Amino acid sequence: MELVNLTEAEFKKFADTIYEKTGIFLPESKLGMLSNRLRRRLKSLDLASFKDYYSLLQDDKACEKELPHFLAAVTTNETYFFRNETLWKFFREKWLPEVIERKKQVASKTIRIWSAASSSGEEAYTAAICLRESLPGFSTWKIEIVGSDISHDVLDKASSGIYNEYAISRSDPKIVAKWFTQKDDTYELKSEIRKHVKFKFHNLRDPFPESKFDLIFLRNVLMYFDNAMKLRVIDHLTNALGCGGNLIIGDVDPIRSTQELRDAIKLDYGGPNVYTKPLSATAARAVLAK
């Protein structure tokens, strides 16, 4: 039986569920997109209507199994290694020297990075490769990189470290040859890089269980939230940052789009896409004493 289009009333029910589960706000302009993506789940489950699918999501036991597929169907996970070369140039040439200097002042050789909404792991692994290539005395440092996402499917892919040609298509061939093992049409990241990165499930609506990160990536995600959810997520990110740590967001910066967000954020604006958590009074005095 051919499915009819998702009605406005049905769209609102699904949109409310998505917001409740993820904080992602879907405007009515996304009705066609959601309709097309949910059809695939209905076909897979042999369901006759969107009403039947919505009823399934309201059943606690059935929803537990279906929810990861539902969320994967309504979120976008396209990414690749070294996405936005300008960012990685900043990472290597500006951020890394600054964090090295800051670590010297507190006699620490640990660098902690969180790739929030990490999808299939390309961003987290790119950070690990950049550190391996550019951090002086790399073997003397403790590198802790965490990638998190709401989709178990993409987290499984990230943990495998196996990618297709598209994922490495924007990378320097020398980097690919050095850190990947090609097997037919796939590229497996070497354990020397993978061992520095771990992946875990996390919903950005909730506080992150780890903290004191030197850098948090949250690129091209905030734009999917309404202002109330943006504030909630930014608060969680701020709490997870260590003093002096940086938050890097995507090219579209929704934080500076409204006065409400600019006034509420507790991070200092450091230029396009970059925000910094102010140093504690003790750390600030140590810097001034140098």
- Could you read off the pLDDT of 216-257 as tens digits, one per residue? 999 988 888 888 999 999 999 999 999 999 999 987 777 887
Q: Give how many domains the chain has, as a whole number.
A: 2
pLDDT at 286 over 70: no
Q: Compute the distance between CA of residue 21 and CA of residue 66 in angstroms, rounded to an integer.
A: 13
Q: Are residues 180 and 114 in the same domain?
A: yes
Per-residue confidence at 182, pLDDT binned at 50, 70, 90?
A: very high
Task: Please report, for residues 94, 219, 277, 278, 287, the alpha-carbon distance to residue 270 in angstroms, rounded to integers and kept in the order given.
Answer: 12, 16, 10, 11, 18
Q: Are residues 46 and 152 in the same domain?
A: no
pLDDT at 164 over 70: yes
Supply the pLDDT for residue 290.
Answer: 44
Q: Are residues 29 and 151 in the same domain?
A: no
Supply the pLDDT for residue 287.
Answer: 43
Would 263 be classed as within a structural domain?
yes
Mean pLDDT for the chain? Answer: 90
Last residue of a domain, one of 74, 107, 126: 74
Q: Are residues 21 and 117 in the same domain?
A: no
Q: Compute the distance between CA of residue 107 and CA of residue 102 in angstroms, rounded to an integer.
A: 9
Three-class HEC string of the chain = CCCCCCCHHHHHHHHHHHHHHHCECCCHHHHHHHHHHHHHHHHHHCCCCHHHHHHHHHCHHHHHHHHHHHHHHHCCCCCCCCCCHHHHHHHHHHHHHHHHHHHHHCCCCEEEEEECCCCCCHHHHHHHHHHHHHCCCHHHCEEEEEEEECCHHHHHHHHHCEEEHHHHCCCCHHHHHHHEEEECCEEEECHHHHCCEEEEECCCCCCCCCCCEEEEEECCCHHHECHHHHHHHHHHHHHHEEEEEEEEECCCCHHHHCHHHHHHCCCEECCCCEEECCCCHHHHHHHHHC
Q: Are residues 89 and 70 in the same domain?
A: no
Backbone torsions φ then ψ of 182, nearest 5 degrees: -85, 130
Query: pLDDT tens digit string along 52-99?
Result: 999 999 888 888 788 878 877 777 666 899 999 999 999 999 999 999
Query: pLDDT tens digit string along 98-108?
Result: 999 999 999 99
Supply the pLDDT for residue 60.
Answer: 82
Supply the pLDDT for residue 284.
Answer: 46
Are 145 and 124 in contact by the 8 Å Cβ rule? The answer is yes
pLDDT at 265 over 50: yes
Reading phi first (left if > 0) and then psi (alpha if -120 to 50, else beta), residue 273 is in left
Supply the pLDDT for residue 77.
Answer: 63
Residues contacting residue 63 through CB under 8 Å, at least 6 positions apart: 56, 57
Supply the pLDDT for residue 156.
Answer: 93
Q: Are residues 23 and 117 in the same domain?
A: no
Q: Are residues 23 and 164 in the same domain?
A: no
pLDDT at 282 over 50: no
CA dihedral 111, 221, 264, 278 (to 10 degrees): 10
Task: List the domain range (segments joined by +) for residue 206.
Answer: 85-289
pLDDT at 158 over 70: yes
From 205, 168, 203, 204, select the one nearest 188 (Cα to Cα). 168
Q: Are residues 175 and 102 in the same domain?
A: yes
Residue 62: give its domain's CATH number.
Answer: 1.10.155.10
Q: Are residues 98 and 190 in the same domain?
A: yes
